């Protein structure tokens, strides 16, 4: 990513646009189609996971390995840019925010495999990891259980939306049977949606955006990932019951009904 004063000023205008929308959520919760849809509708927006840093530095304990994929000067400039843009958004009298939440196990597993390259740094000198899928899986299971900060996911709304914009979503959620919630607090107009219902959310988004006829677009994300074989083996063999405690986090207890959680557990128990 290149940084320039001209580009910064141009994006400042986007952030100050009257119809600007911030798409603001943790990674791997289904926001790509919303981002593509906003662009298609000509609505200015910015898609972001955190205002602190590249989120990988918050999500993993092995930050030394994470750092191998980020150039320090560019990272430092990016953090300054985040701070600058955050201040602009915080000064707005009114700000629309779209955020999403997803089954936490699906979120965690999807994100881990998206960042799989990070977990190969520690084993790059071990030839078995490159030539034996069972050895590779053992290495990845160990990394999955020891390097991921699960609190990144369970605490995201408090650390980001509440800390940065003063919106405490949990105090506004009364009925976990809903597919979405609209929260208005302190000049912030927040639409919180369940990822599982996103394909039925075009009407909800149209109302929120005051854009009749708003349509959801495909994000065209590739499904044939380079790690698809490993991903499938992991899902077939990992005892996901070890992650069921995630459903006890206040966030997921508030968002999902007992029936939803039971269905999630059944899904992951059948692997």
Domain limits of the chain?
5-269
Helix-helix angle 104-114:228-237, to 10 degrees: 140
Walk along the chain (271 residues) and give the pLDDT tens digit of each residue.
555 777 888 899 999 999 999 999 998 888 888 999 999 999 999 999 999 999 999 999 999 999 999 999 999 999 999 999 999 999 999 999 999 999 999 999 999 999 998 988 866 655 555 667 888 888 899 999 999 999 999 999 999 999 999 999 999 998 998 999 999 999 999 999 999 999 999 999 999 999 999 999 876 554 557 788 889 999 999 999 999 999 999 999 999 999 999 999 999 997 6
The continuous run of DSSP H or E covering 182 comes out as strand 180-185
**Half-sphere exposure (Cβ direction) of 166: Cα atoms closer than 13 Å:** 11
* Distances in whole angstroms, Cα of residue 78 to Cα of each of 12, 187, 190, 250: 15, 27, 25, 32
Measure the CA–CA gap between 173 and 179, rounded to whole angstroms: 11
């Amino acid at each position: 990513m290149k940084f320039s004063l001209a580009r910064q000023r141009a994006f400042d205008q986007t952030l100050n646009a009257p119809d600007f929308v911030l798409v603001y959520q943790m990674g791997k919760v289904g926001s790509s189609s919303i981002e593509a849809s906003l662009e298609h509708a000509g609505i200015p927006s910015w898609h972001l996971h955190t205002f602190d840093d590249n989120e990988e530095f918050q999500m993993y304990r092995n930050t030394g390995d994470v750092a191998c994929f980020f150039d320090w000067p560019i990272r430092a400039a990016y953090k300054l840019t985040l701070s600058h843009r955050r201040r602009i958004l915080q000064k707005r009298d009114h700000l629309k925010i779209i955020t999403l939440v997803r089954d936490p196990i699906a979120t965690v597993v999807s994100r881990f495999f998206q960042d799989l390259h990070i977990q190969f740094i520690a084993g790059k000198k071990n030839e078995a990891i490159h030539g034996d899928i069972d050895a590779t899986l053992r290495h990845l299971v160990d990394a999955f259980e020891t390097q991921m900060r699960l609190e990144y996911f369970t605490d995201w709304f408090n650390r980001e939306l509440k800390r940065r914009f003063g919106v405490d979503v949990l105090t506004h959620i009364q009925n976990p049977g809903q597919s979405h919630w609209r929260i208005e607090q302190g000049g912030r107009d927040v639409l919180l949606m369940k990822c599982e219902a996103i394909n039925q959310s075009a009407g909800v988004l149209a109302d929120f955006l005051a854009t009749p006829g708003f349509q959801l677009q495909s994000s065209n994300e590739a499904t044939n990932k380079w790690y698809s074989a490993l991903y499938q083996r992991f899902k077939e063999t990992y005892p996901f019951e070890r992650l069921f405690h995630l459903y006890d986090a206040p966030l997921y207890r508030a968002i999902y009904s007992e029936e939803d959680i039971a269905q999630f557990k059944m899904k992951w128990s059948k692997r």
